[in-house]
Chains A and B, each alone.
Chain A
């Protein structure tokens, strides 16, 4: 074989170099993918790592003597009156009885701090309120331990730090260990996290009200955004004449999809709250703001789904004497359905994760009750996460991460479903 310009030494050398460049380019691509995956892994591991322990919590099972002399000195059995009684004393007595040798006031205080004061008193209070005949009896119930003890036993508060540097004293550690040995303190599934509304005390705080609030916001947002999004897409794609005005609408929608979400918060604040005078912190307003935020996403998804339907389908329907509206609604829309659904799910996932606009319309309220309707004050899961992440006690970090895990599981499920749906759609085409 003769040596040509392509088989010369120089050319081969150049080829080798070119192959090297090729390889490096490929590696850069691989590195970029790995970087993104590593970031994802770090994020997930860091959150799951701090959060998973919150799904279990330390509880104390103890006897509480509901003595009449403390709760009902006047012998009343009126539940309303019993509700205001001094349950703290009952809990204190129980705690003191665990270590009868403790006598000094300061030590007694430290001992009492092992149990969740608020949690225990309220649990007993509700029991007695429901069944006043319990007064005078002794009940054995399980109440949460205080957040400090919980953190200690989970190992977040290190025993080897200097005593002055930690909020739990050596004496308290000894008590906690003893109670654990006695089987009084046990780690159990943390039902509180899922069943309770928000609380000032980490050991009593739950995401129930925030979850319900989020669901309400999503329902309102969906009921508004879905018809608006799909309707305007159908109009723009199927019925709108091509003129300046429809161009304007189109630019508008595309732009709205990319407007920072906080601007929608400002809109909600200025229009819904200040101008229309709607109440602050209600899911209805939150849902309306988020509906405006996500309907462009739905519109854009719907339009691309509609454009993906072969025009011959509409021609076929028209040639049979279907009206344009009939052809669109009966033939085209059902075919675009999965695409519209995908877009809607992604839009709703977007709405579910949104925080900033809700801050603007006062959805940062502390709500002691799970809301019953869209006009009752509520908060949303991301906002709850934001509030908790800002709280001082160490136990909050764990609970914040746990709340994030819940939110992420829901979001990843939603997005995953949307992606799955889209992939199926692409395969079908």
Chain B
């Protein structure tokens, strides 16, 4: 990664409240435009909560309040005039547990383009579905059974299907919330390979429990602890020479 990379997200003093409870205590961070940023930290440290602020999925949780500023490409994404729906079209998300819709594989991928009216003909849509599935590395495995239900695939395939579904909307960012935690090692390896490929085109933010995974796939790593961002730096630096003792303790397994 070179220094000329632009900043995708600029966060200043981001705080998240669930009712009276403050889950994040003012986070300042700049997420780069390309590459993979990993969020690590012990359970309940707020990393997932923080991830969900980038596409405003927190809006759907009752009693959840977000304050502070998050800008994407200079645009305030918490601007009251901004429709979160359009934001989410640009910021895709992959969840911990694969959640394909109980529809056909084709319909799963086509759902996004359809609601956004991205294509104007069946052929165009077909092409988009194929392209997305190919990019997610799933095409060869499912091209003969596009009409079958997406829930019939294996866990790893489902997760890649969900990624294909997200890619189909042509987002700029893909958020991944522990995407490999429900997968076996082989499927995880495939997924990581996919992330490796995707980071050329997209800004990827990944929350992970696995230190090794963060070390393998990410370019930058942020360490969260008890609702605070403790350290944010190049992955190599974090894992070899962390600037903070708490980071060090976590990475070496003394906490968490």
Contacts and interface: CB of A to CB of B under 8 A. Distances in A.
Interface stretch (A220-228, A315-323, A414-422): A315-323
Given A321-B85, A321-B116, A323-B85, A316 B92 contact: no
Contacts of B60: 314-315, 318, 324
Contact of B101 (A316, A318, A321, A326): A316
Interface of A: 242, 310, 312-324, 326, 330-331, 335
B198 to A, nearest CB: 16
B85 A322 contact: yes
B93 interface: yes
Interface in B40-63: 55, 57, 60, 62
A321 B97 CA distance: 19
B111 A317 contact: yes
Contacts, number: 66
A139 B60 CA distance: 79
Interface in B77-98: 83, 85-90, 92-95, 97
A320 B92 contact: yes
A326 B117 CA distance: 14
Given A321-B116, A322-B85, A310 B99 contact: yes
A321 B95 contact: no
Given A242-B62, A321-B115, A312 B165 contact: no
Contact of B162 (A316, A322, A330): A316
A314 B62 CA distance: 15
Contact of A317 (B83, B92, B97, B101): B101
B85 A315 contact: no
Given A312-B99, A326-B115, A319 B85 contact: no
B112 interface: yes
Contacts of B166: 319-320
B99 A321 contact: no
Nearest to B113: A320
B115 A319 contact: no
Most chain B beta-carbon neighbours within 10 Å: one of A314, A316, A318, A330: A316
Given A320-B111, A320-B169, A315 B116 contact: no
B243 interface: no
Contacts of A317: 101, 111
A330 B101 CA distance: 10
Interface residues of B, number: 29
A53 B93 CA distance: 68
Given A242-B62, A315-B57, A320 B112 contact: yes
Given A318-B88, A320-B166, A321-B112, A312 B93 contact: no
A310 B92 CA distance: 20
Q: Is the interface of A mostly helix, strand, loop or mixed?
A: helix
B256 interface: no
Interface string B167-193: 001000001000000000000000000
A74 to B, nearest CB: 78
B115 A320 contact: yes
7 contacts: A313-B101, A315-B93, A315-B99, A318-B57, A319-B55, A321-B85, A321-B112
A64 B1 CA distance: 108
B151 to A, nearest CB: 10
B88 A319 contact: yes
B102 interface: yes
Contacts of A242: 62
B92 A312 contact: no
Given A312-B97, A315-B99, A331-B101, A320 B88 contact: yes
B113 to A, nearest CB: 9
10 nearest interchain CB pairs? A321-B89, A319-B93, A312-B99, A320-B112, A321-B88, A316-B99, A323-B85, A322-B115, A321-B85, A320-B169
Given A242-B62, A315-B57, A320 B99 contact: no
A323 B112 CA distance: 11
B145 to A, nearest CB: 20
Nearest to A428: B102
A320 B165 contact: yes
Nearest to B99: A312
Most chain B beta-carbon neighbours within 10 Å: one of A314, A316, A317, A320: A320
Given A242-B62, A313-B102, A317-B111, 4 more contacts: A315-B95, A320-B166, A326-B115, A330-B111
A228 B8 CA distance: 46
Nearest to A325: B85
B202 to A, nearest CB: 14
Most chain B beta-carbon neighbours within 10 Å: one of A317, A321, A331: A321
B109 to A, nearest CB: 10
A102 B95 CA distance: 95
Contacts of B92: 319-320
Contacts of A323: 83, 85
Contacts of B86: 321
